[in-house]
Structure 1
Amino acid sequence: MDHQLMTVGASLARSDERMLTGRNAAGRVWKTGFAGLDPIIGGGMRAGSLILLAGPQGLGKSTFALQVARNNAATGRPVLYFSYEHDAEDLTQKLIALEAGELDESDQVRITSIRSIFDDLWVSSLEHRLESVPSGVDALARVAHYSEQLFVHRSTGTRTDLSAIEAAITAVRELTGTVPLVVVDYLQKVKSGHEDEMARTTEIVEGLKDLAIDIGAPVLAIAAADKEALRSGKRMRANDLRGSSALAYEADVVLVLNNKFDIVARHHLTYDLGNAERFRDYAVLTVEKNRFGRDGATLQFRTRFDQGRFEAEGTEVKEQLIDERVFRD
């Protein structure tokens, strides 16, 4: 039978076999690891789904995606991270800073210190160098624990197209014996044969959605914002994704990050500007689209970009939010 054809009877038999062998929902869902978010999107990122993560520049989209990748690799599940803007060493430095930041109660860890250790010319082992960083050695041990499950593909806009992405997924599946969570950072840089941006974006987003279904795993892709939308000072929404209406249409879940200070309702700032300054330290994650639950939910996460991470405990936003950003840079 054509592998693209399946009767409902065959699907029922497959589901029954999964349940009898204990490979039920847990094998079909990849947790993001961010408290508050997973229950909203159906327990986590579901097999065959395309999740888009968007937001203005500097809001930590890559940091968020890398943290999701780490959260899954730490559970023993393989992750394949297609990085179009950062090499493996840069991501490794962020992971060590993330781990050290979570471990260190003195709050002295800074990603700049981690990077300076990697750049220093004195001859010594990495473990010895990290002794100068609070919880640095323990952080290195944590990263080493899941390091063989987290694959980084140094991607380029001139070489890494959908076929290259599929080939890398196949290679990881052969190495690990299971399909990986796929992270694409970022979607608009995937190579395409189209010159027109709309056609190019449509090809890539449809291809990533098909790929997610074919491999039976989630694809988490970072999506760039439309420059005009950002210049206008608007709060970024799903319709501000750059390139094609197919982005929001094809995606199963659309997540958008905004800085809380920019989008909280004006009266919160007018009457308590001093207290509102703390909003700058929080990112608001809006579930703009959700095929697996309710959309429109807004969660806030404290940003610790000095440590290369978000704090994982997300809470629902209590303040009223507006569509227009209150202040512009």
Structure 2
Amino acid sequence: MDQQLTTVGASLARSDERMLTGRNAAGRVWKTGFGGLDPLIGGGMRAGSLILLAGPQGLGKSTFALQVARNNAASGRPVLYFSYEHDAEDMTQKLLAMEAGELDDSDMVRMTSIRSIFDDLWVSSLDHRLESVPSGVEALARVSQYSEMLFVHRSTGTRTDLAAIQAAIEAVRELAGTTPLVVVDYLQKVKSSQEDVEARSTEVVEGLKDIAIDISAPVLAIAAADKEALRSGRRMRANDLRGSSALAYEADVVLVLNNKFDIVARHHLTYDVGNAERFKDWAVLTIEKNRFGRDGAVLQFKTRFDQGRYESEGSEVKEQLIDERIFRE
């Protein structure tokens, strides 16, 4: 029988088997680990779904995606991270800073300190070097516990196409014994046979959606913003994704990050000047599209980019938000 063909009866049998063996919802949902977000998108990232994460440059999209990857690897589930802009050592440094920042109550951990440890020329083991960082040794132990579950693919726009992504997924499935969560950082860098920007985006997003369905696991892809949309000074929305309308159409969930300072209504700054600095330390996450629940939900997360992370507990935004940014550079 053609592998592309199935019957509803076969689907019912598979569902019944999962329920009888206790492999029901838990096996088909990957948690993001961000408080408040998972319940809004159907319990987490669902098998066969494509999730797009977008936002202006410099707002920590890669940090958010890596934190999701870490959360899943730490839970014992394999993750395959296609990194088009960062190598494995850079990501390792971010993970160490992330873990140390969460562990240390003194708030002294800094990403710059972790990086300097890797750059220093003196000869010493990594654990010995990390003794100078608050909770550094404990952070190394944490990363070591899940390090073999987090696979990093050094991807390039000249060779890593959809076929290469599929091949790497199969390789990880062989090594890990189960299908990984797939993270693509980022979508517009995936090699395509198309020359036109719109055609390239369509080919890649449709291909990633097909891969998610075929492997029955989520694909989380970072999407770049359209430069014109960013220059216009508007709050970034789903229709500002760089490329074709197929991006938002094919995705099951579209998440957009914005800096709270940029999109909060003016009166919150006018009557309390202190808010200006406070709001700069918060990112607003909008669920622009959601096939597994209601869209339009807005959460805020405190940014700790000095420690390479977000604080994982989100909350509802109480202030009024606007579509137009207040200040333009």
TM-score between the two structures when normalised by the length of structure 2: 0.99
Shift, 1:275, TM fit: 2.6
Deviations 1:176-222 (A, max 9, x none): 11000000000000000111000000000000000000000000000
Deviations 1:88-130 (A, max 9, x none): 0000000000000000000000000000000000000000000
Matched, 1:41 2:35: no
CA distance in 1, matches of 2:146, 2:156: 25
CA distance in 2, matches of 1:57, 1:276: 20
Letter in 1 for 2:200: R
Aligned match of 1:243: 243
The residue correspondences of 1:11-50 to structure 2 (distance < 5 A) are 11-50=11-50
Aligned-residue CA RMSD (Å): 0.5
Shift, 1:273, TM fit: 2.0
CA distance in 2, matches of 1:157, 1:49: 24
Aligned match of 2:260: 260
Deviations 1:133-157 (A, max 9, x none): 0000000000000000000000000
Deviations 1:49-88 (A, max 9, x none): 0000000001000000000000000000000000000000
Deviations 1:29-66 (A, max 9, x none): 00000000000000000000000000000100000000
CA distance in 2, matches of 1:275, 1:158: 45
The residue correspondences of 1:91-170 to structure 2 (distance < 5 A) are 91-170=91-170
Deviations 1:3-38 (A, max 9, x none): 111111110000000000110000000000000000
Shift, 1:271, TM fit: 1.5
Letter in 1 for 2:221: A
Shift, 1:276, TM fit: 3.2
SS in 1 for 2:221: strand
Shift, 1:327, TM fit: 1.2
Shift, 1:269, TM fit: 1.3
With 261-270 and 309-318 compared, the bigger mean Cα shift is at 261-270
CA distance in 1, matches of 2:79, 2:152: 8
Aligned match of 1:311: 311
Aligned match of 2:194: 194
Aligned match of 2:83: 83
Letter in 1 for 2:184: V
Aligned match of 1:217: 217
SS in 1 for 2:280: helix
SS in 1 for 2:75: coil
Percent identity between matched residues is 88
Letter in 2 for 1:20: L
Aligned match of 1:281: 281
CA distance in 2, matches of 1:5, 1:136: 52
SS in 1 for 2:123: coil
SS in 2 for 1:146: helix
Shift, 1:277, TM fit: 2.0
Letter in 2 for 1:261: F
CA distance in 2, matches of 1:240, 1:276: 25
Query: Which structure 1 residue ranges, 5 or more long, are not aligned?
Result: none
Deviations 1:244-263 (A, max 9, x none): 00000000000000000000
Letter in 2 for 1:272: D
The residue correspondences of 1:39-78 to structure 2 (distance < 5 A) are 39-78=39-78
Aligned match of 2:296: 296
SS in 2 for 1:179: coil
Letter in 1 for 2:114: I
CA distance in 1, matches of 2:114, 2:19: 45
Deviations 1:261-291 (A, max 9, x none): 0000111112212233200000000000000
CA distance in 1, matches of 2:273, 2:198: 41
Aligned match of 2:326: 326
CA distance in 2, matches of 1:152, 1:254: 24
Letter in 2 for 1:89: E
CA distance in 1, matches of 2:277, 2:85: 31
Letter in 2 for 1:88: A
The residue correspondences of 1:179-190 to structure 2 (distance < 5 A) are 179-190=179-190
Counting matched residue pairs gives 329
